[in-house]
Chains A and B, each alone.
Chain A
Amino acid sequence: MDSQDQEKQVHESVLSAIKQGDIKMRPRWQFILRTMLAVVGLAILMLALIYLISLILFMMSETGAGFVPAFGSRGWLAFARSLPWLMILLAVAFIIVLEVLVRRYAFAYRRPLLYSMLGIVALSILSGVGVAGTLLHRRISNYAYQHRVPFFDQLYENVEEQQLPEIYPGQIVQLMQHSFLLEGRRGDTVEVLISPETMFSVGTQFATSDMVVVFGEPATGTIQAFGIRKLENHGWSGRHVRMMLK
């Protein structure tokens, strides 16, 4: 079959398929609807990613893990061990899915992949930091407790129940000469021993009711502190509020 015959066949079969109604033109509204759904899907995915990142930051703040890198290499090691890796991997997966979806649009594929990837990462982290700075997670945590919201209750309960090795956030309830009593988030108290090697910011004065994060080695009923970080304007969420409500 020569080329002209083949072309004639293609032309005829395409037009006859159209005329006989074997194929139908998709209406414009379907494309508009599909675009709108894609935009909504992208927005939901982006919001989920921002929520996830802010939750990771909230967790790091609540468990005290976010404060320990200030205590040198040992602090960094404890920080790396304490990171919620599963959630971080989930966030990375979200970023990859978002990148794949965004690449279908001209504003993304016209530029190198690195730009859109960095754009998504920067936007989600900055927004995540912004959301983590609000009272959103504290409110959800308290609301989840009071109203017993499925999943959220469990999720925020886990954040509060989590006790990381060597990291103890809490409130000073009694000061002694070379130690203080720390009340943890579960309401338990433990004596924190301060030695000349204990690191804290120069000029820090501790007082009862201060919120602190203690980084140290536990022994029976005591913690030998490697470092203490005083927390300014750091409220309680979840458990403490629950205790007060009781």
Chain B
Amino acid sequence: MPGSAAVSSPKTDEEIAKQVQGGDVESFGILVSRYEGKMTRYARKFLFQGEDVKDMVQEVFLKAYINIQSFDTKRRFSPWLYRIAHNEFINAGRKKLSLPVFTFDLDALFPHLAAKETADQDMQGKEMRAMLDRYLGQVSSKYREPLVLYYFEEMDYREIAEILQIPVSTVGVRLTRGKQILRKIINHQNIS
């Protein structure tokens, strides 16, 4: 339009991923820039430290690049990348953090009613993040990951379900139980 400043909105992750699929290697750098902070934080919440975090995050991006042609650009990019990170961190965690190789998950076996967040979600969110920062290491990995994805990565239930490949209702169950466990830990700390 003449006389008006054209404001170009930044490209979405999915549009950039499509460019990478078409051979534009440089565009992958944009995705790395957008997500490396998030991936580093996610790795740290998995209790990895120091050089391990750097190596792990690097590996996530390399795997993402290798497999980018399997990404469906009609879907959201971030859950796809987080799924790669989840697999990478779980595999590394089995070696370095002695996570169990196989777990049978009763939560995902039966149907549950979907739990909903309450109205004071924001306040709870801030409190939860503060509590999680302090006590995250004491929560088992099964409940830690949905808590991290929900409160730190600000994913919704559906996205968390896609990343962890579990039913949406199970995400609600794990978040509720995770919060209960966290409260128990805090109460125990206060008493002692």
Contact = CB atoms under 8 A, between A and B. Distances in A.
Contacts of B162: 106
Among A3, A25, A104, A115, chain B packs the most CB atoms within 10 A around the CB of A25
A128 to B, nearest CB: 24
Nearest to B170: A112
A6 B65 CA distance: 20
Given A9-B54, A10-B32, A15-B32, A112 B65 contact: no
Interface residues of B, number: 35
Nearest to B57: A10
Contacts of A112: 108-112, 167, 169-170
Interface string A1-36: 001001101110111011100011111101100000
B185 to A, nearest CB: 27
Contacts of B166: 109
B109 A114 contact: yes
A8 B40 CA distance: 12
A112 B109 CA distance: 5
Contacts, number: 82
Contact of B66 (A24, A28, A115): A24
A246 interface: no
Interface residues of A, number: 30
B32 A14 contact: yes
Interface in B27-80: 28-29, 32-33, 36-37, 40, 53-54, 57-58, 61-62, 65-70
A25 B20 CA distance: 10
Contact of A11 (B36, B65, B165, B167): B36
A111 interface: yes
B25 interface: yes
A112 B107 CA distance: 8
Contacts of A24: 66
Given A26-B67, A114-B111, 20 more contacts: A7-B37, A9-B54, A10-B40, A10-B54, A10-B61, A11-B29, A15-B32, A18-B25, A25-B65, A25-B69, A28-B21, A28-B70, A31-B67, A103-B165, A110-B161, A111-B111, A111-B167, A112-B109, A112-B169, A114-B110
15 contacts: A7-B36, A7-B37, A11-B32, A14-B28, A14-B62, A18-B28, A18-B65, A25-B66, A31-B70, A103-B165, A110-B161, A110-B167, A111-B167, A112-B112, A114-B109
- Which 7 A-B residue pairs are closest in the complex by CB-CB distance? A28-B69, A109-B165, A31-B70, A14-B61, A112-B111, A113-B109, A7-B36
Interface of B: 21, 25, 28-29, 32-33, 36-37, 40, 53-54, 57-58, 61-62, 65-70, 105, 108-112, 161-162, 165-170
Interface of A: 3, 6-7, 9-11, 13-15, 17-19, 23-28, 30-31, 103-104, 106, 109-115
